[in-house]
Amino acid sequence: MRLYRTLKEQIMTGLVKPGDYLLPEYDLCKYYKMSRNSVRKALERLQNEGLVVKRPGLGTMVPAELSISPSDRNVLRILTPYPAHFVDNGLPAIIDTFSKAYPHVDVKVLSLPALNFWESFHSSFEMGLSPDVVMVSDLQLADRDVLAPFSDLTSVLDDRLDKIYPKLLNRFRHKDRLIGAPLTFTPVYLAYNPKLFASENIPLPSDNWTLDDFIGAAQGLTRVKNGMPFCYGFSVFPYVSRWPVFALQNGGAKKAGGLRENSLRKALTLLHDLLYRKRIATTYPDTDANPFLFDKAAMTLTTTFEMAGWKDKDLTFAPAVAPLPFGPTPSTLLQANALLIPSEAHSPELAREFVRMALDADVQRDMIRHSSFLSVIRDVNRDTCSRSYLHALNVEDALMNNNYFIHDLFNEAEIEELNSEFALFWLGLESAETVATACAKIR
């Protein structure tokens, strides 16, 4: 249904015009991270509505004779990446509030594949489709030059800026201009399965638990049968969006970016201890294959964005949150979504009103109450979340200043180098010492 709605909106807005072909099924699966069966069901639904036709040997085409009548109502067009859990679970509440305030305006959400988002963004302008608001994550802003064609939002949010976490605002500044309005954010944190803890009579994580407590729990929760583990104490995604947390907790980042060699060495040694010496942890190749989702790992590193997607996974338990225990430094990674307004927006006044409304304290408070997301407004989080929860997430008060976005540490080229350096490490075939020394030289 998500893909069906996405492709239908692309057709109805004219991004894909009559006579144009959709991407091949293989590319739709790749760009939208969906199975071939899901893609075919979405295309079948579009075909039943007469919005596409199958051309044997050629592909799926929007009928050349298809006529789309333009609406005489005002339209606010929002461009978002796909997949993005916030678009499915957080943005609709904001749109609903906006629609009640502006009933004469139709809000249209157009999702483009995250893998080639900026290429599709520029193509939409070339084809005459001018979005009014663009939602992006900080991960899509590694190249700061992409911010050039967007408006400065400083005056739009002048009365709200002092309420938003400065760490988030700074991530979306470019040459003294506030280009992005932070919408929601998440730290990387530790989630655990209370049901598995209870089944093994393992004490639940406390607010002040230590690395030894974590290791003891992971050992007690790792289960082996016939020499084969069938449940691990901990699972970790072997990618740069997760593992730097271990280094940040063991000494932190260098002032000029990157991670200190000593903190890297401690972090990587700990990871090898968990994965290969003690054998109480495992890695997984894809976020949908996390053993934590299947009661096969008792703890995992995750985000509120990722957790929002778990509601479709039919979990047998309610995940709980524990403080990160991997080292003495209270620090973690951050991710954030933000709203941008293109300089050539079709309806700039409506766009500014939408952004202001999205950053209204009552709207942010309502968003938290109906979802697992965090507000970018400090007082809203303090009013709606417990202090122990914010402490476990490492975002309470001054703790927020200890956290980093991944691109505070590395640029895209350096991330590619890191992935290459870690290829054998994750297999247990290269030492922490060797990898730490190589990675320290990247920046």
Q: What is the pLDDT of residues 106-115, one digit of tens each?
A: 999 988 888 8
User: What pLDDT sits at residue 71?
Assistant: 66
Q: Is the pLDDT of residue 13 over 80?
A: no
User: What pLDDT sits at residue 278?
Assistant: 96
Show the tokens assigned to 65: 């004779």
Give 362 or 147, the one with higher predicted confidence.
362
Query: Could you give the angle at the alpha carbon of 147 between the alpha carbons of 142 and 151, nearest 5°?
Result: 150
Average pLDDT over the chain reads: 92
Please give the Cα distance from 121 to 130 (Å, whole number): 9
Please give the Cα distance from 154 to 164 (Å, whole number): 12
376-382: which pairs have CB atoms within 8 A and are 24 or more residues apart? 376/164, 376/165, 376/168, 376/182, 376/183, 376/184, 376/185, 376/336, 377/160, 377/163, 377/164, 378/163, 378/164, 378/165, 379/163
Burial of 98 (0-12, 13-18, 19+ CB in 10 A): buried
Q: Is the pLDDT of residue 126 over 80?
A: no
Assign 280 a pLDDT band (cuts: 50, 70, 90). very high
Mean pLDDT of 330-335: 97
Domains belonging to the chain, first-starting first, are 1-7+12-70 (1.10.10.10), 71-184+335-385 (3.40.190.10), 189-331+410-440 (3.40.190.10)
Mean pLDDT of 245-249: 97
Mean pLDDT of 251-263: 88
Mean pLDDT of 25-50: 88
**Is residue 87 within 8 Å of residue 95, measured between CB atoms?**
no
User: What pLDDT sits at residue 229?
Assistant: 93
b/e 362-373 (16+ beta carbons within 10 angstroms → b): ebbbbbbeebbb
Give 291 or 2, the one with higher predicted confidence.
291
Show the tokens assigned to 97: 């509030």
Mean pLDDT of 94-122: 90
Mean pLDDT of 247-251: 94
User: What pLDDT sits at residue 327?
Assistant: 95
Give 396 or 299, the one with higher predicted confidence.
299
User: What pLDDT sits at residue 375?
Assistant: 97
Cα–Cα distances (Å) from 21 to 15, 131, 213, in that order, read: 11, 22, 57
What does 386-417 look like in DSSP terms, one character per residue? -HHHHHHHT-SGGGGGG-EEHHHH--HHHHHH
Q: Is the pLDDT of residue 297 over 70?
A: yes
Tell whether omega for the bond before 187 is within 30 degrees of 0, i.e. cis: no
Q: Is the pLDDT of residue 72 over 80?
A: no
Q: Is the pTM of this model over 0.75?
A: yes
User: What pLDDT sits at residue 292?
Assistant: 98
**Is residue 229 within 8 Å of residue 222, measured between CB atoms?**
yes
Residues 374-385 pLDDT 10s = 999 999 999 999
Mean pLDDT of 269-293: 95
**Highest mean pLDDT: which range of 124-138, 141-155, 290-304, 407-421:** 290-304
**Is residue 110 within 8 Å of residue 79, measured between CB atoms?**
yes
Mean pLDDT of 26-54: 88
Among 247, 408, 239, CA closest to 329: 247
User: What pLDDT sits at residue 370?
Assistant: 83
In a 13 Å sphere around the CA of 89, the CA atoms on its Cβ side amount to 21
User: What pLDDT sits at residue 443?
Assistant: 66
Assign 2 a pLDDT band (cuts: 50, 70, 90). confident
**Is residue 13 within 8 Å of residue 110, measured between CB atoms?**
yes
